[in-house]
């Protein structure tokens, strides 16, 4: 037993983890942050760290000058991009009166509109020619192909011409929406067993949801295109309709549910097709 | 997240090969070859990392599109990028591009300028095929996006050229970021991501989130590129210390001026006032030594790491609620890759 008095050291000055973005780029076994290495980069007020970012709490405290340098650097960058976005919106607003209200600089309808009328095509053609008259040869080719694109694919046409919806497999959305609109209804037309999982938080159950193609996990396989998501006002529910072609390879497919009003992804849908 | 990504080089190789194969179809194979179309095809066929087209295809696929859907936009982006490179090389007086002499050094400025103009027009062609493929609205949105990108890139180039023309060195980091946002980020990252998201979501998304993610990713990329110009080996493909010879206003140079003693500032100002041809190796060597003396390389490296952190944050917002996929992971790992590449 050692008779020497026990050494007591003062508590460290830091009593909270130093969350350091830059530490994530340090390789295994590399020294922790020092005064010559990357300092912490705090996010601006109101911004939260994404999940999955390593906690760099093991790093020793850094001199305040470096903390200031990091904070100022990120704040500067956010100020630059915020100002750029503000300027972009102002420019878009300034452009709008010259065109149809609520449309883009060429008078094109809102981005969510995937169909186009003959009137708007005429408008596009006229304004396109006005803006880009100096690029006549290329624009001529463009407008020619534009005219060929007036026929909008009808999702129901494939169903009418194809397989009858034999084994209908309704898979009710497991969670009821908080606003009382009820769950999503799923209708699948498939000759094979197919299971659907929808991850759509009730709060995200906005009326104007949309769904594109379902993308296979295996990038070599074709996507599943015959899918539609619509709000049924009678049932007061969203209805997802999926038709699985016989030639569609077995596998897992997923897609993003987008809120067209907010222009933001709101949830996901996953479809597993058995072989 | 892995520190050294294997997915990024794999997908860059995969989507890069697709784009390279497809873009050959758009390079005119007719006369006059010697003074035009051979020059037009020169830069696109020299290779490159293919980061821009890969970002576009991956963003589209992450939102559910097939790679083929985004291939036209990817080809357009790569051709427009090469067109601007020809002009940039002339404006900057650059001597090397992808390990070979620049186009204007090989053929003279007039022919190179003409080839750059032609390549810019050729680069629009793939976009004109979208109406038949994905509909008229979306096709026109893509053209609008391309036009916006081209204008903003020109504004960014004007900023930097103006600084050099007026021998302005007393700049801030914010000035630098503003210039990089316009000159680099819109073409390198923002436009590819926005075009991909447009195609993948069939124009259903608000694209502002991709401006933010693209800015932080692109700024990180540019600072790393500026760093490599000072420290990289021959595989880098550009002239070593070329940015110093050209007097480019990099984050390192801006910090050097800010931190220098008055006498050193005067000397730096005098060196940068001279035309490139009048600058000596001793001048460039002195600037390089001062950059080390004032710790400017480490400063820029730290700055790039911080921006990469913000890029990951913005990525997490832009791709929230998007299903996990190889393409989504590629976009996340790109952040790490741009600061690790050499």
Q: What is the mean pLDDT of residues A10-19?
A: 56
Predicted pLDDT at B242:
85
Nearest to A73 among B129, B208, B303 (CB): B303
Interface test with B, best of A258, A262, A271, A272 (most B CBs within 10 A): A258
Interatomic CA distance for residues A247 and B257, integer angstroms: 65
Spatial contact of A268 and A256, defined as CB atoms under 8 Å apart: yes
pTM to 2 decimal places: 0.70
CA separation for the pair B242, B101 (Å, rounded): 13
For residue B145, list chain A residues with Cβ-Cβ distance below 8 A: none
| Distance in Å, alpha carbon of B216 to nearest chain A alpha carbon | 8
**b (16+ CB within 10 A) / e for A111-131:** bbbbebeeebbebbbebbeee
Interface test with A, best of B83, B316, B321, B322 (most A CBs within 10 A): B321
A264-273/A251-259 β-pairing: antiparallel
- Contact indicator for B102, B95 with CB cutoff of 8 Å: yes
Query: Angle B174-B176-B177 (CA atoms, 0-180°, nearest 5)?
Result: 65
Selection from B135, B115, B133, B146 nearest residue B45 by Cα: B115
User: Measured between alpha carbons, how far is residue B115 from residues B36, B79, B103, B304 in Å?
Assistant: 6, 12, 9, 34
Contacts of A121 in chain B (CB under 8 A): 136
Residue whose token pair is 């070593």: B240
| Cβ contact, residue pair B128, A106, below 8 Å | no
Nearest CA in chain B to A34: B302
> Among residues 25-44 of chain A, which lie with CB inside 8 Å of chain B?
25-28, 36-39, 41, 43
Residue A170: φ, ψ to 5°: -65, 130
DSSP alpha helix (H) spans, A57-113: 64-95
> Structure tokens of B263?
């006498």
User: What is the 8-class DSSP label of residue B128?
Assistant: G
| Domains identified in chain B and CATH numbers | 7-340 (1.10.600.10)
ipTM of the shown complex: 0.85
pLDDT band with cut points at 50, 70 and 90 for residue A198: confident
A63 lies within 8 A of chain B by CB: no
Tokens 């890029």 belong to residue: B311
Contact with chain B for residue A151, Cβ under 8 A: no
Secondary structure of residue A85 in the 3-state scheme: helix
Q: Which residues of B touch A217 (CB under 8 A)?
A: 325
The whole-angstrom distance between A56's CA and the closest CA on chain B is 12
Q: Is the pLDDT of residue A122 over 80?
A: no
To probe the interface with B, which of A45, A46, A67, A77 has the most B CB atoms within 10 Å?
A: A77
- Contacts with B316 (C-beta within 8 Å, 6 or more apart), sequence order: A50, A51, A52
Tell me which DSSP letter residue A208 carries: S
Digit-coded pLDDT (tens) for A52-103? 443 334 444 555 666 677 778 889 999 999 999 999 888 888 776 554 444 4
Among candidates A124, A139, A258 on the partner chain, residue whose Cβ is nearest the Cβ of B204:
A258
Residues of chain B where predicted confidence (pLDDT) is lower than 70: 1-3, 232-239
The answer to whether residue A104 neighbours chain B at the CB level (below 8 Å) is: yes
Confidence category of residue A219, pLDDT binned at 50, 70, 90: low
Q: Tokens 């295109």 correspond to what residue? A: A225
Containing A271, the helix (H) or strand (E) segment is strand A264-273
What is chain A's mean pLDDT, rounded?
Answer: 63
pLDDT at A147 over 90: no
Which 3 state secondary structure label does DSSP give A199? strand
Q: Containing H/E element for B334?
A: helix B326-340
What's the pLDDT at A15?
53
Contact indicator for B75, B126 with CB cutoff of 8 Å? yes
Site from B302, B312, B318, B333 to mutate, A interface, most A CB atoms within 10 angstroms: B302
Of B144, B203, B323, the CB nearest to A270: B323
Please give the pLDDT value at position A107: 37
Which of A135-139, A232-236, B161-165 has the lowest average pLDDT? A135-139
List C-alpha distances in Å: A1 to A5, A7, A8, A102: 11, 15, 18, 84
Enumerate the residues of chain A whose CB falls inside 8 A of the CB of residue B334: none
Q: Which of B177, B201, B320 sits opposite A258 (nearest CB)?
A: B201
CB pairs under 8 A between A and B: 221
Burial group, residue B34, by CB count within 10 angstroms (0-12, 13-18, 19+)? exposed
**Strand-pair category, A237-243 with A185-189:** parallel
* Residue A44 pLDDT exceeds 90: no
What average pLDDT does this structure show over A181-204?
Answer: 78
Which phi-psi region, left, alpha or beta, contains residue B133 (left: φ > 0; alpha: ψ -120 to 50)? alpha
- Determine whether the interchain pair A38/B305 forms a contact, defined as Cβ–Cβ distance below 8 Å: yes
Contacts of B207 in chain A (CB under 8 A): 263
CB B91 within 8 A of CB B157: yes
Which of B189, B183, B227 lies closest to B209 in space, CA to CA? Answer: B189
Tell me if A114 and B138 make a contact (CB, 8 A cut-off): yes
pLDDT for the residue numbered A45: 47
pLDDT at residue B267, rounded to an integer? 96
User: What's B24's DSSP letter?
Assistant: G
């Amino acid at each position: 037993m050692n008779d020497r008095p026990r050494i007591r050291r003062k508590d460290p000055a830091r009593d909270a983890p130093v969350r350091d973005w830059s530490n994530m780029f340090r390789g295994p076994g590399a020294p922790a942050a020092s005064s010559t290495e990357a300092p912490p980069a705090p996010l601006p007020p109101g911004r939260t760290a994404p999940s999955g970012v390593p906690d760099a709490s093991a790093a020793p405290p850094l001199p305040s000058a470096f903390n200031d340098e990091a904070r100022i650097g990120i704040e500067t960058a956010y100020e630059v991009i915020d100002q750029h976005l503000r300027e972009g919106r102002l420019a878009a607003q300034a452009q709008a009166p010259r065109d149809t209200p609520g449309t883009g600089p060429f008078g094109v309808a809102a981005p969510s509109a995937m169909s186009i009328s003959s009137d708007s095509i005429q408008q596009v053609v006229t304004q396109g020619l006005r803006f880009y008259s100096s690029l006549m040869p290329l624009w001529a080719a463009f407008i020619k192909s534009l005219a060929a694109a007036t026929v909008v694919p009808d999702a129901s046409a494939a169903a009418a011409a194809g397989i009858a919806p034999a084994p209908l497999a309704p898979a009710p959305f497991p969670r009821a929406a908080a606003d009382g609109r009820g769950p999503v209804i799923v209708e699948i037309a498939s000759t094979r067993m197919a299971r659907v999982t929808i991850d759509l938080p009730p709060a995200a159950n906005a009326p104007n949801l949309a769904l594109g193609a379902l993308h296979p996990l295996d990038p070599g396989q074709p996507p599943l295109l015959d899918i539609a998501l619509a709000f049924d006002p009678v049932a007061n529910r969203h209805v997802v309709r999926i038709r699985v072609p016989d030639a569609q390879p077995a596998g897992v497919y997923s897609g993003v549910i987008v809120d067209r009003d907010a222009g933001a992804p709101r949830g996901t849908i996953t479809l597993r097709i058995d072989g | 997240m892995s520190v050294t990504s294997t997915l990024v080089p794999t997908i860059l190789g995969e989507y890069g090969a697709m784009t390279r194969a497809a873009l050959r179809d758009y390079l005119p194979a007719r006369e006059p070859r010697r003074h035009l179309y051979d020059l037009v095809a020169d830069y696109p066929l020299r290779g490159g990392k293919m980061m821009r087209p890969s970002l576009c295809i991956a963003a589209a696929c992450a939102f559910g599109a097939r790679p083929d859907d985004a291939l036209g936009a990817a080809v357009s982006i790569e051709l427009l990028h090469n067109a601007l490179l020809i002009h940039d090389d002339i404006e900057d007086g650059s001597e090397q591009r992808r390990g070979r002499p620049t186009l204007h050094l090989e053929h003279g400025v007039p022919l190179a300028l003409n080839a750059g103009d032609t390549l810019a027009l050729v680069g629009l062609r793939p976009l004109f095929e979208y109406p038949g493929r994905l509909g008229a609205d979306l096709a026109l949105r893509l053209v609008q996006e391309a036009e916006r990108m081209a204008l903003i890139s020109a504004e960014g180039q004007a900023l930097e050229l103006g600084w050099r023309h007026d021998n302005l060195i007393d700049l801030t980091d914010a000035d630098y970021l503003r210039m990089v946002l316009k000159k680099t980020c819109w073409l390198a990252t923002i436009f590819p991501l926005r075009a991909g998201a447009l195609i993948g979501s069939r124009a259903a998304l608000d694209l502002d989130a991709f401006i933010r993610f693209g800015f932080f990713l692109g700024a990180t990329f540019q600072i790393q590129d500026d760093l490599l110009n000072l420290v990289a080996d021959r595989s880098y493909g550009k002239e070593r210390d070329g940015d110093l010879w050209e007097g480019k206003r990099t984050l390192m140079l801006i910090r050097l001026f800010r931190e220098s003693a008055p006498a050193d500032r005067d000397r730096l100002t005098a060196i940068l006032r001279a035309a490139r041809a009048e600058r000596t190796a001793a001048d460039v060597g002195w600037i390089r030594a001062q950059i080390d003396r004032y710790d400017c390389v480490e400063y820029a490296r730290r700055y790039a790491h911080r921006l990469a952190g913000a890029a990951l944050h913005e990525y997490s917002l832009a791709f929230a609620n998007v299903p996990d996929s190889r393409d989504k992971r590629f976009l996340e790992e790109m952040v790490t890759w741009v600061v690790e590449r050499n």
